[in-house]
Structure formats: C-alpha cells, structure tokens
Amino acid sequence: MLTLSQRHIPLVTCGAQCHNASKINACQPSVHPHWSIILTLYGIKNCDTVRKARKWIENHQLPVHFHDFRDDGLRQEDLEFWCKASGWETVFNKRSTSFRALSDADKTDIDQAKAIQLMQAQPTLIKRPVLVVGEHVLIGFDEAAYKRVFSL
C-alpha cells in the first residue's frame, strides 16, 4: 500500500487563472491546462462525502472529471488499479450499510479478487470518493491530504 507521502505529487502551476477551471467537467477526463495530469473523481453524486470533495475541488478551481459509478458504470481495471495503489482493504468499505446487507457467505473469506467482484456488483461497497491524479489514488475525502496532493 502506498503511503500518503508516496501519493504526493508535486504539481506545478503557472499561477495564472485558468479559463472556466471552477467547473467540474462531467463529460470527459480533464487535464489541467498547466499540468500534464488527468484528474478524475469517482463516486456517487448524492453521497455527502463526495459532495464535500466536489465542493472543495470547485472552490480550488481544479478541473476534474466526475465519474458517477452508479450512472456511468465501473470498469474492473479501475478497481484493480485502485486496489493495487491503495490496498483492497482501503477501497472496500466494510463499514457501509451495503456490507452489512451482504450474505454471511459474501462476508467471509474476502480477498482482493472477491472484494473486486463484490464492488463491481455493488459500487456502494467502495469507500468514496476515489480521486485519481495521474497514477496516484486517494480514497475518501481528507482536506489535508487533498491540500498536500495539490500543493495548496
């Protein structure tokens, strides 16, 4: 599992105000005009924590593609990448009501493959939001971590 310091990305900006950068782009992945990194926020639009993250991103004028995995679906490759970068135990939310609703058979003997299968079938088992910045992944919203990642 990557530590936060390993996830830190020294992003360098030119200091200019970016055109329309305060809008979260819900159409296609965004590349900040002065960075060469794609920013994508994954989550569910009515999740309170996702809303907090989106508001923080918008307030800091970061152009981010929002991917609602309930509406837009979720690729197994994305789940595998997140689990590799952050550890499946971090991505898989055992504290969710969705986890409590699983059958006893689904709750036992969980490994990465089974967790990915369950998260693919029930995206609400994913701890939200998931912020992908280039090759780095942040799970959950932690304002201090976001500030470090974006050097703010």
| Mean pLDDT value across the chain | 79
Give a yes or no: residue 52 inside a domain.
yes
End-to-end CA distance of the chain: 24
Give the count of domains, the chain: 1
The two structure tokens encoding residue 61? 């004028």
Domain span holding position 60: 22-149
pLDDT of residue 37: 59
Q: How confident is the model at residue 7 (pLDDT cuts 50, 70, 90)?
A: very low
Please write the tens of the pLDDT for every residue from 50-60: 999 999 999 99
Give a yes or no: residue 8 inside a domain.
no
- Of the listed ranges 33-42, 57-66, 103-112, the least confidently predicted one is 33-42
Find where tokens 């990557």 sit.
2
- Of the listed ranges 1-10, 21-30, 107-116, 133-142, the least confidently predicted one is 1-10
Residue among 76, 72, 96 at smallest CA distance from 84: 76
Give a yes or no: residue 41 inside a domain.
yes
> If residue 52 lies in a helix (H) or strand (E), which one and from where to where?
helix 48-59
| Catalytic hit among 14, 27, 47, 83 | 47
Give a yes or no: residue 43 inside a domain.
yes
Give a yes or no: residue 128 inside a domain.
yes
Contact residues for 132 (Cβ-Cβ < 8 A; gap 6+)? 38, 39, 40, 41, 42, 81, 82
Give a yes or no: residue 11 inside a domain.
no
Give a yes or no: residue 70 inside a domain.
yes
CA distance 92 to 116: 8
Give a yes or no: residue 17 inside a domain.
no
- The CATH number linked to 44 is 3.40.30.10
Q: How confident is the model at residue 1 (pLDDT cuts 50, 70, 90)?
A: very low
Q: Does residue 12 carry a pLDDT above 60?
A: no
Active site includes 14?
Answer: no
Please write the tens of the pLDDT for every residue from 129-138: 999 988 889 9
* Average pLDDT estimate for 111-138: 94
